[in-house]
Amino acid sequence: MRARFASSRRPATRPARPPASARRQRGAAIISALLVVTLSAILVAGVLWRQQVQIRRIQNQRLMSQALWVSRGAVDWTRLILRSEADTAPTVTYLGGIWAVPIAKTRLSDFLGKVSEADAAEGAQTYLSGSIEDAQARFNLRNLISVPAPGLLQIDQTEAAIFARLLALLGLDGGLAKTVAIRMRASLLQSATRFQTPLSNRLGSAARAPQPGSAAAGNNATDQAGLQDEGSSSSIDAEPLQFTSADSLLNVPGFTPEMVARLRPFVTVLPTQTPVNMNTAPAEVIAAMVPGMSLSSAQSLVSRRQSAFFRNTSDVQLALQGAGALAPGLDISQLPMDVTTSYFLVHGRVQYERAEVDRTTLIYRDPLTHTTRVVRVRDQL
């Protein structure tokens, strides 16, 4: 009995251990499974990330599209203001008009009113700000070239002298005026608007472009001014870039970004020749317009203009005579100045959630019918 009991308590035999090759295969299978799971997680995460990016892109496009539509509506509203302003004061444009009042950052719902809860919620997320600027308050670089006859482009010496005085008043080299005139003439040869008549000619005013060789011309316009020296055709590109704004001066030799930044508030480029509005022009431009006028006299004239604007060029002449800035025998009717404006710059900024549109629009207002049209649009980057 004792022997049998002892034998019954004998330990059981242990299972045989798998060989080393089997263990290695099992470890490799586990590692492979982990790699497959990791790779699958990476692929799924990539797909989800791309989907999220695509959704975000679509949302941004929708927000930008809505902001652009709001900006377009603001431009239409501005055109209505300019037209109504011309209906009430068709012969004069001055800084006291409603068009000159800037709009601070304001919710769109404050303009449109809250028609419904949905419109109120959407309008509360849209902000609008902007201002209207008289484009003819600046010196128009297009004036450097006159078109006395179709097919003939001439450098206007009177306008070139005005631009040279403006450069000198701003502390720049006045000799660059001739270089700009030559470049402008070369670029206009490739322009579709090179033979457009000046705005004053379409209005039928007395200040018409002088014919070459006539007594009224006074040798103010010439076809070869400066073209025989450093401005010869060999130094000008075959197809120079078109002038569209003051930044185009960067393509003219001798101008630096600092010089262009200094000139930007005082010069512009418009499609046609235009006079300077003496009701809105800054003192630097006025001093350059009138030969012999100092900058301090122009600043005094601008200060007096705030209390009483000019209704016609006769008022301008009387003001210049009162300030002692008008040289004896000088007829201001020969100078490119006026008291009304046809070109306006509309600066607008629309913010809709995270979408922002910063846009400058050049608008032309017909002096006869008071209708308006958009000339060009430029987005600020």
What one-letter code names the amino acid at 44? V
What is the rounded average pLDDT of the residues 31-54? 86
Within 10 angstroms of residue 265's Cβ, the number of other Cβ atoms is: 15
CA–CA gap between residue 93 and residue 127 (Å, rounded) = 29
* C-alpha–C-alpha distance, residues 336 and 358, integer Å: 32
Residue 265 φ/ψ, nearest 5 degrees: -70, -5
Tell me the C-alpha distance between 127 and 352, whole Å: 6
HSE (CB half, 13 Å, CA atoms) of 220?
Answer: 24
Please name every residue paired with 276 in a beta bridge, in sequence order, or none if there are none.
337
Domain with CATH 3.30.1300.30 in the chain: 54-136+343-380
CA distances from 287 to 213, 216, 220, 290, 322 (A): 29, 24, 20, 6, 15
Nearest to 66 by CA among 357, 370, 358, 377: 357
Please tell me the distance from the alpha carbon of residue 309 to that of residue 78, in angstroms, as a whole number: 23
Backbone Cα Rg of the chain? 36
Does pLDDT of 216 surpass 60? no
Residue 363 is predicted with a pLDDT of 96
The pairing of strands 103-107 and 152-156 is: unpaired
Whole-number Å distance between alpha carbons of 75 and 78: 5
Q: Is 318 helix (H, G, I), strand (E, B) or coil?
A: helix
Helices (H), the chain: 2-8, 20-88, 108-112, 117-123, 157-169, 176-188, 199-203, 257-263, 283-289, 295-305, 313-322
Task: Give me the CATH topology for the region 54-136+343-380.
Answer: Pantoate--beta-alanine Ligase; Chain: A,domain 2 (3.30.1300)
pLDDT band, residue 144 (cuts 50/70/90)? very high
The two structure tokens encoding residue 231: 């401005």
Region label for 205, one of left (φ > 0), alpha (ψ between -120 and 50) or beta (otherwise): beta
Structure confidence at residue 190 as a pLDDT band (50, 70, 90): confident
**Angle of CA points 23, 24, 27, to nearest 5°:** 90
pLDDT at 120: 56
When pLDDT is averaged across residues 8-17 and rounded to a whole number, the result is 58
Pairwise pLDDT comparison (96 vs 190), residue with the higher score: 96
| Cα separation of the two ends of the chain | 104
- What pLDDT band is residue 221 in, cutting at 50, 70 and 90? very low
Residue 151's pLDDT band (cuts 50, 70, 90): confident
Is the four-CA dihedral 185, 186, 187, 190 of positive or negative sign?
positive
Question: Tens digit of pLDDT for each residue in 265-306?
Answer: 999 999 999 999 999 999 999 999 988 888 998 998 898 888
pLDDT tens, residue by residue, 79-95: 999 999 998 888 899 99
Task: Say what the pLDDT of residue 31 is.
Answer: 83
How is residue 108 written in tokens? Answer: 């769109």
The one-letter amino acid code at 47 reads V
pLDDT at 239: 58
